């Protein structure tokens, strides 16, 4: 006689476990929660830049808790063999400002690598405004997730003189997501 087929995992246990590791929808967050999420993302960026920084130090430096880390961006962190929390590259959506021909533009990008690329572009724009004339050449025709970067030296110089570059150029915006994240 053969044994009865096993039924596998109980669906409710699977659902509970998957919810524990899922970040909340951006459209469901209040402005205060969006601010906390932005601070958690900043702590994550700090940890990516400084590998010796612990999660509790990074969280404390940004005014959040390690619990907030696991609540808002759980897939951006992993525990290593010693139990230490490490930051890893993520795919979370961020709203960031970049310069446009008529002033700042808010764009949605996905992931910490794209955010880092926007930050490198930001640094090069400010280097250009300080006098490094060739630094924008490497960005000509470059798109970051479908958004072409403004590299016209004349327009960037005018935006800089008018102080019309994005106020939060290269950092996540804490703007409510009326239509959701995607």
DSSP per-residue string spanning 5-38: PP--S-HHHHHHHHHHT-PPPGGG--HHHHHHHH
DSSP per-residue string spanning 139-154: GTT-EETTEEPP--HH
- Beta pairing class for 147-148 and 143-144: antiparallel
pLDDT band at residue 164 under the 50/70/90 scheme: confident
Of the segments 5-9, 70-74, 95-99, which one has the largest average pLDDT value?
70-74
pLDDT at 23 over 80: yes
pLDDT band at residue 86 under the 50/70/90 scheme: very high
Distance from C-alpha of 45 to C-alpha of 67, rounded to nearest angstrom: 17
Higher-confidence residue: 140 or 11? 140
**pTM assigned to the model:** 0.69
pLDDT tens-digit readout, 109-137: 898 889 889 889 988 998 999 999 899 99
* pLDDT for position 96: 84
Q: At what angle do helices 112-129 and 31-49 cross, to 10 degrees?
A: 80
Across the range 54-73, mean pLDDT stands at 94
Distance from C-alpha of 140 to C-alpha of 148, rounded to nearest angstrom: 9
What percentage of the chain reaches a pLDDT higher than 70?
A: 80
Distance from C-alpha of 61 to C-alpha of 5, rounded to nearest angstrom: 53
Distance from C-alpha of 107 to C-alpha of 144, rounded to nearest angstrom: 10
Mean pLDDT, rounded, of the chain: 82
> Among 164, 28, 42, which Cα is nearest to 105's?
164
* pLDDT for position 9: 52
* pLDDT for position 166: 73
Higher-confidence residue: 1 or 72? 72
pLDDT tens-digit readout, 25-36: 888 888 899 889
pLDDT tens-digit readout, 44-54: 989 998 999 99
Distance from C-alpha of 170 to C-alpha of 39, rounded to nearest angstrom: 14
């Amino acid at each position: 006689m053969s044994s009865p087929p096993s039924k596998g995992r109980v669906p409710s246990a699977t659902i509970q476990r998957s919810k524990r590791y899922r970040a909340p929808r951006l459209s469901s967050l209040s402005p205060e929660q969006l601010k906390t999420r932005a601070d958690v993302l900043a702590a994550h960026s700090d940890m990516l830049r400084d590998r010796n920084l612990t999660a509790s130090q990074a969280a404390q430096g940004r005014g959040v808790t390690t619990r907030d880390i696991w609540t808002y961006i759980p897939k951006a962190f992993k525990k290593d063999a010693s139990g230490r929390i490490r930051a890893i590259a993520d795919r979370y959506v961020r709203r960031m400002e970049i310069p446009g021909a008529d002033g700042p533009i808010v764009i949605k990008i996905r992931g910490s690598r794209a955010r880092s690329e926007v930050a490198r572009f930001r640094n090069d724009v400010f280097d250009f405004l300080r006098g490094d004339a060739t630094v924008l050449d490497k960005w000509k025709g470059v798109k970051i997730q479908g958004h072409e970067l403004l590299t016209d030296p004349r327009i960037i110089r005018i935006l800089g003189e008018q102080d019309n570059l994005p106020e939060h150029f290269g950092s996540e915006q804490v703007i409510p997501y009326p239509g959701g994240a995607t």
